[in-house]
């Protein structure tokens, strides 16, 4: 014992630093966790060198191999592109954040043409406007759906390729360019449904995207240090590569067929395209029903490629789901002010003529629009807040949760339409009532799918949720309350606006402005309600809110100084 101590001290005096971290706690996981994260976060902020993945060992070895032979090493570095690629390897983090931002904006921005359709109380024009509106809504929904599918494929791809270099970054940008072009092909398809050009253009884009993704995969597998550690370690790399290429090329090949069939019978190609999107879900549904009906579990082969199973519980990068959702919520909140700035600044000449140059009087006309703006912004902001609160406690996002998230976001993207509708029509008209009801429906479904996400997560709560919000957890009731505020309020407003149809807009605006206060007081309200329920129904059983804290404690390796 004495010897070891002496040994240690002598090393310290040399170059050794001994860090003793004494942590006194019962839960080992949190013990290891806290000091490290707090510390490392500080270090990382100071010094962000961690993004460039370094290979000092490699360099060291090179140095020892060719000591001071610089001319040779220079030539070598020019020729050996392999080593060069290895050196310029980067973390893919920011590339993915940028892609998420691009894709989320592209998915949402197509609501603008919908929202900007001018409505009139003219019965003659109504029919043609409604046809136009249907087209535009169709374009928006198609864009949102297909772009989200492309995004899911992008997630899957970059779960395999986890490090990048300049070439991969440029290939990814090319891919993004084509994805942002997709909405235009939908516009063509929706405007000229019987013309083959739109569908051909779409198929061409998808095929090129597929080819680029295949190139990314091939490039990644030819430089294995780009791959995820799991695949890098595996011996089945060739099998993985083939399997992933098969999955990726499936869609472009179906698009090829769709484009060929478009010359023969155009309806058929639309059906093929619909199949492309829903096939994974349909096959999974059938599998699930089959397994429930027959009882025999249809298991995937054990050596199937991770991330490419299309299973509903397949993990989806939680970070990227958050980044994508943030993008959608941010763009929706911002589109509103664009309209305000464009339409609600009166013309100086008009102000001079009609209002004697009195700006304030001229602006009073727009009163309801400001109200609608603040109400809509509050709604978007609070829906983001609910999403944020939920994902704080989500530990793993699954594909099914991602699907519900997409649906929720598609409705959130419809909110600018709700804004446009609720201030467009004259007070008390029938259109106004319709507008308010459409808005309520949009908000209701946006909230409901958020709730559905949580319910889905609860089914596999051990994997997907933090203990606090699991059934019986400390924050369970509060989370439920947070998630159900918007569906309940929207439903209530819908019913009230039916009964008191004359005051529908006022009710709607009061709802939008009142909800933030509900959120501020929510924790208190939940407490009071819970206490009341407990006091009324089960005064004897006071242990309802006690969490069955799981004993997840694992003993950590303890470096004993052996005597």
Chain positions 459 to 498 lying near a second copy, rule: CB under 8 A, are 466, 468, 475
Rule CB under 8 A: which of 168-207 touch a second copy?
169-170, 173, 176-177, 180-181, 183-184, 187-188, 191-192, 195, 197
From 11-19, 117-125, 236-244, 295-303, give the range in contact with a second copy by CB under 8 A: 11-19
List of E strands, 444-523: none
Per CB under 8 A, 297 contacts a second copy: no
Query: φ and ψ at 414, to 5 degrees?
Result: -80, -5
**Shortest Cβ 18–a second copy spacing (Å):** 6
**Shortest Cβ 471–a second copy spacing (Å):** 18
Rule CB under 8 A: which of 394-423 touch a second copy?
394-396
The C-alpha atoms of residue 245 and residue 243 are separated, in whole angstroms, by 5
**Shortest Cβ 365–a second copy spacing (Å):** 14
**Shortest Cβ 499–a second copy spacing (Å):** 31
Per CB under 8 A, 29 contacts a second copy: yes
Per CB under 8 A, 310 contacts a second copy: no
Q: Tokens representing 43?
A: 């270090």
Rule CB under 8 A: which of 530-559 touch a second copy?
531, 542-543, 545-546, 549, 552-553, 556, 558-559
Contact with a second copy (CB under 8 A): which of 374, 433, 460, 503? 374
Stated as kind and residue range, the H or E segment containing 44 is helix 28-46
> Toward a second copy, which CB reaches closer, 94 or 427?
94
Three-state SS letters, 227-241:
ECHHHHHCCCHHHHH
Q: Can you say whether residue 307 is alpha, beta or left, with left for phi > 0 and alpha for psi between -120 and 50 degrees?
A: left
Q: Tokens representing 294?
A: 């027959």
Using alpha carbons, select from 225, 189, 510, 542 the residue that is nearest to residue 378.
510
Rule CB under 8 A: which of 64-103 touch a second copy?
70-71, 74, 77-78, 84, 88, 90, 94-95, 97-98, 101-102
Strands 90-91 and 315-316: unpaired
Per CB under 8 A, 31 contacts a second copy: yes
The C-alpha atoms of residue 435 and residue 421 are separated, in whole angstroms, by 5
Residues 6+ apart with CB under 8 A from 433: 497, 501, 504
The per-residue b/e assignment along 388-404, b for 16 or more CB within 10 angstroms, e otherwise, is: ebbbebbeebbbbbbbb
The C-alpha atoms of residue 148 and residue 276 are separated, in whole angstroms, by 13
Number of residues that bind a second copy (CB under 8 A): 154
The C-alpha atoms of residue 406 and residue 328 are separated, in whole angstroms, by 10
Rule CB under 8 A: which of 320-359 touch a second copy?
322-323, 326-327, 329-331, 333-338, 340-342, 344-346, 348, 351, 359
Stated as kind and residue range, the H or E segment containing 468 is none
**Shortest Cβ 306–a second copy spacing (Å):** 12
Stated as kind and residue range, the H or E segment containing 187 is helix 166-191
> Toward a second copy, which CB reaches closer, 109 or 488?
109
Per CB under 8 A, 25 contacts a second copy: yes
Rule CB under 8 A: which of 235-294 touch a second copy?
none
Per CB under 8 A, 454 contacts a second copy: no
**Shortest Cβ 562–a second copy spacing (Å):** 4
The C-alpha atoms of residue 515 and residue 521 are separated, in whole angstroms, by 10
Site mask, a second copy, residues 210-229, x = CB under 8 A?
Answer: -------------------x
> Toward a second copy, which CB reaches closer, 11 or 274?
11
């Amino acid at each position: 014992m004495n010897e070891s101590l002496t040994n240690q001290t002598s090393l310290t005096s040399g170059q050794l630093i001994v860090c003793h971290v004494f942590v006194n706690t019962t839960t080992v996981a949190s013990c290891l966790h806290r000091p490290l994260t707090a510390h490392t976060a500080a270090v990382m902020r100071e010094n962000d060198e961690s993004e460039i993945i370094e290979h000092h060992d490699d360099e060291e070895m090179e140095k020892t191999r060719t000591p001071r032979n610089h001319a040779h090493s220079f030539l070598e570095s020019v020729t050996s592109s392999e080593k060069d690629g290895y050196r310029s390897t980067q973390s893919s983090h920011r590339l993915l954040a940028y892609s998420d931002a691009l894709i989320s904006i592209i998915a949402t921005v197509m609501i603008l043409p919908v929202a900007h359709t001018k409505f009139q109380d003219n019965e003659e024009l109504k029919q043609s406007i409604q046809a136009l509106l249907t087209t535009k809504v169709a374009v928006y929904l198609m864009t949102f759906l297909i772009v989200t599918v492309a995004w899911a494929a992008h997630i899957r791809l970059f779960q395999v390729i986890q490090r990048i270099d300049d070439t991969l970054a440029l290939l990814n940008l090319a891919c993004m360019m084509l994805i942002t072009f997709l909405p235009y092909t939908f516009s063509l398809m929706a405007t000229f449904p019987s013309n083959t050009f739109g569908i051909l253009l779409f198929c061409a884009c998808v095929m090129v995207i597929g080819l680029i993704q295949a190139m990314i995969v091939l490039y990644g597998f030819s430089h294995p240090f780009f791959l995820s550690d799991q695949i890098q370690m595996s011996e089945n790399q060739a099998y993985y590569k083939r399997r992933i290429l098969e999955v990726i090329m499936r869609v472009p090949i179906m698009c090829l067929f769709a484009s060929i069939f478009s010359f023969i019978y155009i309806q058929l190609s639309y059906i093929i395209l619909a199949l492309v999107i829903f096939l994974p879900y349909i096959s999974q549904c059938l599998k699930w029903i089959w397994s429930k009906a027959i009882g025999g579990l249809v298991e995937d082969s054990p050596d199937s490629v991770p991330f490419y199973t299309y299973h509903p519980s397949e993990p989806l990068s939680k970070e990227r789901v958050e980044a994508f959702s943030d993008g959608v919520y941010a763009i929706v909140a911002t589109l509103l002010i664009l309209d305000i700035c464009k339409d609600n600044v009166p013309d100086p000449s008009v102000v001079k003529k009609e209002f004697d140059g009195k700006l304030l009087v001229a602006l009073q006309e727009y009163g309801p629009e400001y109200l609608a703006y603040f109400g809509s912004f509050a709604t978007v902001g609070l829906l983001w807040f609910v999403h944020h609160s939920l994902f704080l406690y989500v530990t793993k996002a699954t594909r099914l949760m991602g699907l519900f998230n997409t649906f929720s976001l598609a409705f959130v993207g419809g909110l600018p339409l709700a804004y446009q509708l609720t201030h467009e029509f004259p007070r008390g008209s029938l259109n106004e009532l319709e507008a308010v009801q459409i808005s309520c429906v949009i908000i209701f479904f946006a909230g409901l799918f958020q709730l559905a996400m949580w319910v889905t997560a609860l089914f596999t709560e051990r994997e997907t949720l933090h203990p606090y919000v699991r059934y019986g957890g400390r924050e369970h009731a509060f989370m439920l309350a947070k998630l159900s505020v918007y569906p309940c309020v929207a439903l209530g407003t819908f019913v009230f606006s039916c009964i008191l149809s004359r005051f529908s807009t006022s009710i709607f605006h009061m709802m939008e402005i009142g909800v933030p206060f509900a959120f501020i007081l929510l924790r208190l309200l939940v407490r009071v309600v819970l206490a009341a329920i407990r006091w009324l129904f089960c005064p004897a059983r006071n242990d309802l809110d006690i969490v069955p804290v799981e004993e997840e404690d694992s003993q950590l390796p303890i470096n004993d100084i052996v005597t």
